[in-house]
Amino acid sequence: MTDAQPRKAGDTRLRLLDLAEAAVLEKGFAATSIDELIAGAGITKSGFFYHFRDKGDLAKALLERYVAHNQAILADIFARADELDEDPLHGFLVALRLFAETMADLPGRHPGCLSASFCYQDRLFDREVRELNRAGISCWRAMFRARLEAIARRYPPRLAVDLGDLADMASTLVDGGIVLSRVFDDREVLPRQILLYRELVRTVFLPPAAPTQD
Amino acid sequence: MTDAQPRKAGDTRLRLLDLAEAAVLEKGFAATSIDELIAGAGITKSGFFYHFRDKGDLAKALLERYVAHNQAILADIFARADELDEDPLHGFLVALRLFAETMADLPGRHPGCLSASFCYQDRLFDREVRELNRAGISCWRAMFRARLEAIARRYPPRLAVDLGDLADMASTLVDGGIVLSRVFDDREVLPRQILLYRELVRTVFLPPAAPTQD
DNA sequence: TGTACATCAGTGAACGCGCGTTCACTGATGTAC
DNA sequence: TGTACATCAGTGAACGCGCGTTCACTGATGTAC
């Protein structure tokens, strides 16, 4: 078959998670069968149940990994931006540009956001999974909010906007932008929305830009 | 049972659609069984297949109704706003306020957006349904864009933002705002995002507000 | 260095239930003449 | 006004397939002594 290279330990479980994530984002969790995952991973059904207690356990593992990964991505972007510019506002603006570029560089259509997918199927999952999803988005919200508050301490806001709402707007634009990117099959939509958000943030904290573009 | 009142013609089909829409938004399309719908509607399985050719036909009917309904809601809000203020910018700002109020007045948690739900399960549907979803969101985009362009003709934009992106942002905020509203079980999130969008639109077209609030 | 045991990463066969779909049929209402 | 036929809105029974799950078992690798 496809396996010229030897299997490494932990490899199969990872492969199952990768296959499941892609399938869930295309068809939803209920329509993703264990059979198709094991076919893709090249093991038998019992092998699947060695790795996961039941299908709900797969859901939990999927979301745990996704949330952790997303947090790492955002933290990494903020860290890289902080290196480039230590001023909180300009660092944030750099981060948003990096973020937009990251989103623009995805191959093909956007894979989707597992949190949004789970949100629209949450009656399938137990309280633990729903709590995990909430906590994951809360974390994003908190990271943006902390940045915005640090900015506001140095640059008094010129518009009367609530910083919590402005922080939520980042998550909101990402989740909504992914939906539009997918529905229109146009990967430009999401990065453009992020850059528009960047424009909004700039306007909130900075006087109207000088005529020089960027 | 629950039926003291007599059945009207077309009643059963409507009931099936209502039950299906609610179930799909809670669990996804694949996990919504025909059995649960007919149990709710009080008919037998064959009765279901009298109304719908197959399950895919239900999906199409569901989305057709949803898209038409959503278009009507938006058109109605714009029409009401136009009555209150014929200036394009102020009419638009009034419309956004009306929209935020409509979203704030929903009972319980937000029911969800069928377009977003379908977008995350689109491999379950045929091309026709996916096209319909695309067309539905395109329509929203076009309605917002037309308004923004009418505004720009009278109020030259003070910020260099693309009006297409600004139009998309409305759809984006709604879809993303619904996700956050649902995940946090906080119906405030979506209306607050809409009002923040309103603030952004105002800033794009109007000089900084006088100190008087609103 | 050899042996005993434990753990890891699975196999293979069977399970029963729920699912979407089909088919022949029906009783009430509407329409043509 | 009566009769024949058509349409509407379903019923009831059966179908087979795919699904998630269980259970006893296995061969390879790791660890204790």
The 10s digit of each residue's pLDDT in A57-110 is 999 999 999 999 999 999 999 999 999 999 999 999 999 999 999 999 999 899
pLDDT for res A7: 57
Dihedral angle, C-alpha A17, A22, A28, A30, nearest 10 °: -40
Structure tokens at A96: 């948003």
Mean model confidence pLDDT for chain A: 94
pLDDT for res A208: 78
Strand D contacted by A5 CB (< 7 A): no
A 74-133, residues with C-beta < 7 Å of strand D: none
Question: According to the 3-state scheme, what is the secondary structure of chain A?
Answer: CCCCCCCCCCHHHHHHHHHHHHHHHHHCCCCCCHHHHHHHHCCCHHHHHHHCCCHHHHHHHHHHHHHHHHHHHHHHHHHHHHHHCCCHHHHHHHHHHHHHHHHHCCCCCCCCCHHHHHHCCHHHCCHHHHHHHHHHHHHHHHHHHHHHHHHHHHCCCCCCCCHHHHHHHHHHHHHHHHHHHHHHCCCCHHHHHHHHHHHHHHHHHCCCCCCCCC
pLDDT for res B212: 46
Residues lining strand C at under 7 Å (Cβ) are: A 7, 9-13, 43-47, 50-51; B 32-36, 45-46, 48-49, 54-56
pLDDT at A157 over 70: yes
Interatomic separation, CA of residue A188 and C1' of nucleotide C31, rounded (Å): 58
B 15-74, residues with C-beta < 7 Å of strand D: 43-47, 50-51
pLDDT for res A210: 55
pLDDT at A1 over 80: no
Give the three-class secondary structure for B148: helix
pTM score, two decimals?
A: 0.94
pLDDT for res B10: 75
Choosing among A63, A123, A169, which should be mutated to test the B contact, i.e. which has the most B CBs within 10 A? Answer: A169
Residue A200: its chain B contacts at CB < 8 A?
200
pLDDT for res A213: 44
The residues, ordered by sequence, that sit 6+ positions from B131 with a Cβ below 8 Å of its Cβ are none
Instruction: Report which of A106, A209, A124 is spatially closest to residue B30, judged by C-alpha positions.
Output: A124
Supply φ then ψ for residue A120, to 5 degrees. Answer: -90, 10
pLDDT for res A10: 75
- Residue A133 to residue B185: CA distance in whole angstroms: 12
- Residue A7 to residue B145: CA distance in whole angstroms: 53
Instruction: Report which of B61, B25, B57 is spatially closest to residue A28, judged by C-alpha positions.
Output: B25
The residues, ordered by sequence, that sit 6+ positions from A213 with a Cβ below 8 Å of its Cβ are B160
pLDDT for res B3: 36
- Residue B119 to residue A180: CA distance in whole angstroms: 9
Burial of A96 (0-12, 13-18, 19+ CB in 10 A): buried
pLDDT for res B208: 78
- Is B196–A165 a contact, with Cβ atoms under 8 angstroms apart? yes
CA A114 vs CA A15, A87, A158, A179: distances in Å: 17, 33, 36, 12
Supply φ then ψ for residue B125, to 5 degrees. Answer: -110, 160
Choosing among B131, B183, B196, B200, which should be mutated to test the A contact, i.e. which has the most A CBs within 10 A? Answer: B183
The residues, ordered by sequence, that sit 6+ positions from B64 with a Cβ below 8 Å of its Cβ are B132
Interatomic separation, CA of residue B8 and C1' of nucleotide D1, rounded (Å): 30
Length of chain A as a residue count:
214
Confidence band, pLDDT 50/70/90 cuts, at residue A31: very high
Percent residues over pLDDT 70 in chain A: 93
pLDDT in tens, A160-211: 999 999 999 999 999 999 999 999 999 999 999 999 999 999 999 999 765 4
- Min Cα separation B206/chain A (Å): 12
CA torsion through residues B20, B24, B28, B29, sign: positive
Q: What chain B residue is nearest to A27 in terms of C-alpha separation?
A: B121
Residue B138: its chain A contacts at CB < 8 A?
184
DSSP state of B122: G
pLDDT at A3 over 80: no
Structure tokens at B69: 């309904």
Amino acid (1-letter code) at residue B81: A
Within its chain, how far is the Cα of B70 from the centroid? 5
Segments in chain B below pLDDT 50: 1-6, 211-214
Residue A129: its chain B contacts at CB < 8 A?
none
